[in-house]
A and B are shown apart, each in its own frame.
Chain A
Amino acid sequence: KAGVTQTPRYLIKTRGQQVTLSCSPISGHRSVSWYQQTPGQGLQFLFEYFSETQRNKGNFPGRFSGRQFSNSRSEMNVSTLELGDSALYLCASRSRDIYTGELFFGEGSRLTVL
C-alpha cells in the first residue's frame, strides 16, 4: 500500500514568488492535513480538508491557502514568499472522518526561500 506522496521534495524560491505543493494521500483516505515544520516554531498545523472542504485552519496568514480535489489529492499554495516561509511542509492523511484515526505523514516538501 503506497504511503502519502508529496511533490516536489525540495525546492528553492526567491522572496515574492509563489509556490504550490502537492500531496497524494493513501488510497481510500479522505482527510488531508498540512503542517509546517521549522526549527524555531516546531510543527504547526496549517489546515485540514475532507471531501474538498476545509474543516479546520491554523493561525497562518492568508498567503497560505489550500484545496482538495475530488480524488482527495490536495495542494497548498503560498503566495508572496517571505524568508520565514522556509520550512519543511508535511502532509498527512487520515482514513476516517472522525478524529480517532492516526495521521500518516509523507516525507515532506522542503522549501527554501532566498
Chain B
Amino acid sequence: AQKVTQAQTEISVVEKEDVTLDCVYETRDTTYYLFWYKQPPSGELVFLIRRNSFDEQNEISGRYSWNFQKSTSSFNFTITASQVVDSAVYFCALDGGTSYGKLTFGQGTILTVHP
C-alpha cells in the first residue's frame, strides 16, 4: 500500500521568512512519481512539480525548491522569502507504477503567510 505523510498540519510564518514543508512517502514500487500541488481558496489544485524516482536532483524554480532524498523517502518543499500570495494548502502526492491516474495524497499542510 502507498502512503504519504505530511506531518505539519499548519504552518504560520511572517512574510519574507523561508519555510519548508515536509513530505514522507511509502511505496513498494521501484518506479514512482512524486508531486506537489497548491490549493488556493478557489479549490483548484495547481500543479507545482513532478519528480520521478530515478531523478534525485534537487530542483529550484524561482522562490521554490524541492529536495528529494530516496534514502529517507522524503520529498520536501521549500519556499524562500515567502509572500502573502503563498498562503494556501499544499499537498504532496505519490503516483505508483501501475496506478492509472490514482494519486495518493498527503493530508495537506495549511500555510499562512502574514504580512
Contacts and interface: CB of A to CB of B under 8 A. Distances in A.
Contacts of B47: 102-105
Interface residues of A, number: 26
Contact of A42 (B42, B45, B105): B105
B43 A88 contact: yes
Nearest to B44: A107
Interface residues of B, number: 27
Interface stretch (A13-21, A76-84, A92-100): A92-100
Contacts of B43: 88, 90, 107-108, 110
A4 to B, nearest CB: 8
B103 A103 contact: yes
B25 interface: no
A45 interface: yes
Given A43-B105, A103-B47, A105-B45, A50 B91 contact: no
A99 B45 contact: no
B44 A42 contact: no
Contacts of B91: 43
Contact of B102 (A45, A90, A100, A107): A45
Contacts of B52: 100
A58 to B, nearest CB: 7
B60 to A, nearest CB: 18
B42 A31 contact: no
A99 B50 contact: no
A55 B44 contact: no
B50 A42 contact: no
B9 to A, nearest CB: 11
Given A32-B101, A33-B101, A35-B103, 15 more contacts: A42-B107, A43-B91, A45-B101, A50-B101, A55-B100, A56-B101, A58-B102, A88-B43, A99-B33, A99-B100, A99-B101, A100-B33, A102-B47, A102-B50, A103-B103
9 shortest A-B CB distances, which residue pairs?
A: A48-B101, A105-B45, A43-B105, A33-B101, A56-B100, A55-B100, A107-B44, A45-B102, A108-B43
30 contacts: A31-B101, A33-B101, A35-B103, A42-B108, A43-B91, A43-B105, A45-B102, A45-B103, A45-B104, A48-B100, A48-B102, A50-B101, A56-B99, A56-B101, A56-B102, A58-B102, A90-B43, A99-B33, A99-B97, A99-B100, A100-B33, A100-B52, A103-B35, A103-B47, A103-B101, A103-B103, A105-B44, A107-B42, A108-B43, A110-B43
